[in-house]
Amino acid sequence: MKRLIVLSIAMSALFFFSVLGPANGQGDDDIFDFIPAGGRTLLETIREEGLQPDLAASIAESGGDPATWRATLDAAKSGSLALGALDDWQTDTLAHYLAANAPLDPGGELPRDGRDMALELCQSCHIITVVITQDRTREAWLRTQNSPSHVEVKTTAAEREALADYLVINAGIPIDLVPPALRAGGASY
Ligand code: HEC
């Protein structure tokens, strides 16, 4: 009897996790979920809904600076639920991503965005918290990335600018929004 109860608890726990586990359909919940989506993910999300033809054509064919892309995105918002749902920061993040990367081949793999780069490149010498909690200017981010302690980081000049733009908009996360496991210890350099 006891064993049956244990088994049924285990089964319901299993059920619970299998149903509620990967909550957002984007893969496992992970400790880095608090770091805002970058342009690659945002673009994938609005592509899933289906891009309006005008916007799809602009992305496939045009370049442009962040302000131009911001205007293009704002103009397309009323015709797209997914795009319309982006807040100001997300729209700016996507505008900067497009400025750095468009024109983009509609069928091609999307280049990594600032969040991808931060997670891939900025954790081997210090905790990501050193990066993501700083509220700094673009120049300050570029200065850090170009400093002697960062020459080993494998990025192109254009990627360093794209990462700086992502961080200007999305870093400066208050420490109490950082998961406790990522708060302690700080830097290990
Ligand atoms: C090869 C090791 C290494 C990697 C990889 C690395 N850092 Fe650092 N980082 C350091 C060291 C060493 C320091 C402390 C000395 C200094 O400030 O230059 C530091 C300090 C910092 C600081 C705080 C001091 C400052 O300059 O303002 C920031 C912010 C920072 N790193 C950002 C980044 C970002 C962004 C990345 C990913 C692109 C990154 N780091 C990847 C070695 C690294």
Q: Ligand 1: distance of its center to the CA of 166 in Å? A: 16
Sorted by where each begins, the domain ranges of the chain are: 33-182
Q: Ligand 1: distance of its center to the CA of 67 in Å? A: 29
Read off the tokens for 184: 């302690």
Residues with CB under 6 A from ligand 1: 121-122, 124-126, 130-131, 134, 144-145, 147, 149-150, 152-153, 189
d(CA 34, CA 44): 19
* 176: CB partners within 8 A, 6+ apart: none
Crossing angle, helix 88-101 and helix 39-49, to 10 degrees?
Answer: 100
Q: Ligand 1: distance of its center to the CA of 135 in Å? A: 15
pTM, two decimal places? 0.85
CA distances from 37 to 10, 24, 72, 90, 185 (A): 35, 13, 20, 8, 25
* 105: CB partners within 8 A, 6+ apart: 60
Task: Report the nearest-CA residue for atom 25 of ligand 1.
Answer: 144
Task: Report the nearest-CA residue for atom 18 of ligand 1.
Answer: 149
Mapped onto helix, strand or coil, the DSSP state of residue 163 is: helix
> If the chain, 189 residues long, is cut into consecutive pieces of 10 residues, what is the mean pLDDT of each piece?
47 44 54 97 94 95 97 95 96 98 94 98 94 97 97 95 98 95 66
What is the reported pLDDT for 27?
53
